[in-house]
Structure 1
Amino acid sequence: MNIKKGDTVLIITGKDKSKEGTVSRALPQDRKVIVEGLNVVKKHVKPQGQTRQGGIIEKAMPLHVSNVMLKCTECNEPTRVGHERRVMGDKERSVRICKHCGKVIQDRTRSS
């Protein structure tokens, strides 16, 4: 999956079309992502004893990865993602490449 936690994405379809947000959680086995503050629905929940109060809560629901586009960290444009193998230190790693500018898309979660 080309989109990871911490990436900035643009929603390209649905009720939140053309809005941007940060991925708070990636679900690669379902090919879905949860974007902070977008695709929010109201959910009715029952109280669970002493631990949880009942009522109507707002919850961010997952979006399929085909409905979002990754924004490049360099050119700040929504882009398709390519992959390349590059030597980093003593290991060869796969990195994500922006199809517009050709530069490496930085991981927000990784410090280096």
Structure 2
Amino acid sequence: MRQGSTKLRVNDKVEVIAGKDKGRVGKVLKIDREKNHVFVERINMIKKHQKAKDATQSGQIIEREAGIDCSNVMIVCPECTETVRIGIKVLEDGTKTRMCKGCKATIETLKK
């Protein structure tokens, strides 16, 4: 896949299709287009050890989401509630929309 080419957007509902969290569903929090990674809510959690910033504060262990490769997630269609591939459809007025390749439902209208 080309660097930065993904049809996923923030707040999309996705399902993990490969890896340790296979089958889990979550919301996309962030997309790193340079590394081709997505950060999904409560999926692929890691523990990060944070050092104390000054003498009054103690060190701590923070649990946060790590990135998953875009190829390991699929979008869940809001209409048919299945994991599907998505395509781009151009409407008569020139606007582009994301559409479900399974049920042909419109997922979101994009900017011109």
State if a TM-score over 0.5 links the two structures.
yes
Determine if contact 2:99/2:108 at 8 Å carries over to the other structure: no
Write out per-residue CA displacement over residues 8-47 of structure 1, whole angstroms, 9 at most, x where no aligned residue.
0000111111000001112223221110111001111111
Q: Give the distance between the partners of 1:2 and 1:51, measured in 2 at CA.
A: 46
Partner of 2:8: 3
TM-score norm. by structure 1 comes to: 0.83
Please give the root-mean-square deviation of Cα atoms over the aligned residues, in Å: 2.0
Using CA pairs below 8 Å that are at least 6 residues apart, which structure has the higher relative contact order? 1
Partner of 1:67: 72
SS in 1 for 2:81: coil
Total equivalences in the alignment: 105
Cα 1:51–1:39 change in 2 (3 A) is farther
Determine if contact 1:73/1:106 at 8 Å carries over to the other structure: no
Write out per-residue CA displacement over residues 56-81 of structure 1, whole angstroms, 9 at most, x where no aligned residue.
11010011110000001111110011
Q: How much has 1:49 moved relative to structure 2?
A: 2.2
Matched to 1:63, the amino acid is I
SS in 2 for 1:105: strand
Gap regions ≥5 residues in structure 2: 1-5
Determine if contact 2:13/2:26 at 8 Å carries over to the other structure: yes
| Divergent runs of 4+, >6 A | none
